[in-house]
């Protein structure tokens, strides 16, 4: 169980506010598809087009960014907030490990964006956020 402290919640909300949300999500997706190619498994419809600027990735980035927006607003009740989304991902057949991999590439994009501003404290808050989101998305798998 990931325990996000009040201080970390503030850091998470602050970072999220400063992001070009869909753009950075698209970049994180391009990175996850490149670094961990098995994550492309269920994206055959993208026809091997996995760059951030490609239409498929942009479309998916919009959905993911929207879900993360919801997550940031519900840090105290993530499992509940993602109840249906979790079921949906199992129906689609997504390996839950993918959520952690996208979390990692998102951290890398944040590190590139904020540089020294991505202090160990901020890094930890962001890491816990994505871990909590991954957990919530996995919570209804059976």
Partner 1 sequence: MVLSEANKLAIQNVAAHIKSETAILGADALARLFELHPQTKTYFPSFKSYHAADPKVIAHGTKVFDALVKATEHLDDLPHHLDKLAKKHGHELLVDPHNFVLFSDIIVVTLALHLTSFTPATHTAIDKFLEEVGYQLSSKYR
Residues that bind partner 1 (CB under 8 A): 30-31, 34-35, 104, 107-108, 111-112, 115-116, 118, 120-121, 123-124, 127
Please identify, using beta-carbon distances, which residue of 44 and 120 lies nearer to partner 1: 120
Answer yes or no: are the C-beta atoms of 132 and 78 closer than 8 Å: yes
Q: State in angstroms the smallest separation of the CB of 140 from partner 1.
A: 26
Please identify, using beta-carbon distances, which residue of 9 and 111 lies nearer to partner 1: 111
Q: State in angstroms the smallest separation of the CB of 60 from partner 1.
A: 16
Answer yes or no: are the C-beta atoms of 68 and 124 closer than 8 Å: no
Answer yes or no: are the C-beta atoms of 28 and 109 closer than 8 Å: yes
Q: State in angstroms the smallest separation of the CB of 48 from partner 1.
A: 15
């Amino acid at each position: 169980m990931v325990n996000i402290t009040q201080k970390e919640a503030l850091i998470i909300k602050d970072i999220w506010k400063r992001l070009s949300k869909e753009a950075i999500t698209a970049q994180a997706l391009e990175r996850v598809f490149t670094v961990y190619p098995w994550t492309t498994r269920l994206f055959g419809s993208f026809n091997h087009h996995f760059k951030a600027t490609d239409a498929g990735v942009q479309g998916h980035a919009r959905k993911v960014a929207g879900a993360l927006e919801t997550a940031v607003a519900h840090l105290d009740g993530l499992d509940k907030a993602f109840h249906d989304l979790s079921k949906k991902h199992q129906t689609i057949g997504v390996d839950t490990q993918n959520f952690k991999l996208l979390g990692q590439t998102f951290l890398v994009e944040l590190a590139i964006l904020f540089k020294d501003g991505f202090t160990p404290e901020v890094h930890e808050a962001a890491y816990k956020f994505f871990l909590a989101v991954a957990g919530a998305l996995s919570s209804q798998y059976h």
